[in-house]
Amino acid sequence: IEAAFRERTPGSAELAAEARTLFPSGITHDARHLKPYGIYVERAAGPRKWDVDGNEYVDYFGGHGALLLGHAHPEVTRVAAEVMAQGTQFGANHPWELRWAEAVMKLVPSVERIRFTSSGTEATHMALRLARDFTGRPKVLRFRTHFHGWHDHMTHGVASQFDGSAAPGVLAGVAENALLADPNDFVGLRAVLDAHDDIAAAIVEPTGGSTGYTALDPDFLRALREETAKRGILLVFDEVVTGFRVAPGGAQEAFGVRPDLSTFAKILAGGLPGGAVGGRRDVMDGLDFDAAEARKRDKIGHPGTFNANPVSAAAGTTALRILAETGACDKASATAAALRERLNGVLKDRRVPWAFYGNFSLFHLFVQADRPVADPFAFDPLSLSATRMKDRPKELIRRLRLAMLVNGVDLNPMCGGLLSATHTEADIDATAAAFAEALAMLRRAGD
């Protein structure tokens, strides 16, 4: 499989060799780490992308989730280019940031006030700081496998995800103030909350850890809302992926649960860099000069050279309008459901005991040697504990990923992916054919 991959991608191999002399591991984002090397892409449009060797891929990486409208959406890129030609950074307020804020607030009613950041990581960082400031409490509660970026409070070391220890380079004192609970464990949740009366916020990926790879029971989300409200703990929905994807109003619209604060990024900025934190006005007042003066204490500082960058603001405003007008979320979700069904059909035909699952416009692959799936259609993701993330057969998944690349499909590092509204029936056909061929390659290789 690796030989076939190398044969198709000599240009990527050459760039990867150079990259190893420049970047640790030769990469610029952990999720782009792939052995022997990842593809180098030079062009993308709609659901497809092309590498430097001219190979075409059906893309399910989806710009790490930023591309609900597909790559290089003509209207979004046109507006961004027009704004860019007028300047990329004014060092001043600008009209686009107002339109951007209004677009978010229209879609997400829990956002009464908003602040734009440059990334999702900055947004979750600020959300936790706002919560600490508002409640006067030090601790935050997070859930095993839930990802919120890489700042110190949300360390994403492999071990720290499971035992709560500090990831490399993070102060133990910071990690100690980030409590860990197991998703879907109602009893465990209450026990953690009962044991600590100094929790400022609970932060959660509302469709489950790593965008639903470890599924979250919507009843658990409702229980979390109830329990946190009772205790004066702020509930933060990290909608960096789910925002404007699972529904125009995000997971909070899809599940009818209203958080105190929400964080956004990715789709928010229409495929450009950008993030935001928004929510209750009284909590967001932690950032307000006048409110701080009235309280006779410091406000939370929030500089940031590229906060509400005009190009991102224009692209984001345009993307949010288009996705709301065109039913893009539902379209992508429907295509994803059809894709999951087709891929499970391939598994069933070949009697491979794995399963594709997921909801909305996402799909994930369950492949665990010790837990064969008799019927992929009867597979219940909620039956899996969060530790499965640790137990997955990484080498097999790597080889499947390479085999899919050889057959013209780019999946995420766990062999799942995200769809856009531009993915079509033809893409599903191509993906199902590629998957059948990839399974045959694995079988020939003895996997």
Binding site for ligand PMP (CB under 6 A): 64, 119-121, 124, 147-149, 205, 211, 238, 240-241, 265, 275
Nearer to ligand PMP, 8 or 148 (CB): 148
Q: CA–CA separation, 316 vs 117, rounded Å?
A: 13
110 versus 119: smaller Cβ distance to ligand PMP: 119
Of the pair 238, 410, the CB lying nearest ligand PMP is at 238
Structure-token pair, residue 160: 């720290």
For 319-366, give the DSSP string: HHHHHHHHTHHHHHHHHHHHHHHHHHHHHHHTT---EEE-STTEEEEE
Q: How far is the CB of 337 from ligand PMP (least distance, A)?
A: 22
CB of 445 to ligand PMP, least distance (A): 31
Beta carbon of residue 129, minimum distance to ligand PMP (angstroms, whole number): 15
Dihedrals phi, psi of 379, to nearest 5 degrees: -65, 130
Task: Select from 48, 2, 8, 51 the least CA-distant residue to 400.
Answer: 2
Return the closest-CA partner of residue 336 out of 246, 207, 410. Answer: 246
- Of the candidates 380, 376, 379, 381, which has an alpha carbon nearest to the alpha carbon of residue 346? 376
Residue among 270, 207, 192 nearest 237 (CA): 207
Cβ-proximal residue to ligand PMP, closest one:
120
The nearer residue to ligand PMP, 124 or 214, going by C-beta atoms, is: 124
Closer to ligand PMP by CB, 70 or 120: give it. Answer: 120
Whichever of 64 and 196 has its CB closer to ligand PMP, that residue is 64
- Closest to ligand PMP by CB, 8 vs 144, is 144
339 by Cβ neighbours in 10 Å (0-12 / 13-18 / 19+) ranks as buried
In angstroms, the CA 62 to CA 108 distance is 23
For residue 160, the minimal CB distance to ligand PMP (Å) is 16
Minimum distance between the CB of residue 424 and ligand PMP, rounded to whole angstroms?
26
**Nearest-approach distance from CB 206 to ligand PMP, in angstroms:** 9
Q: Give least dist CB 260 to ligand PMP, A.
A: 17
Contact by Cβ (8 Å): 69, 319: yes
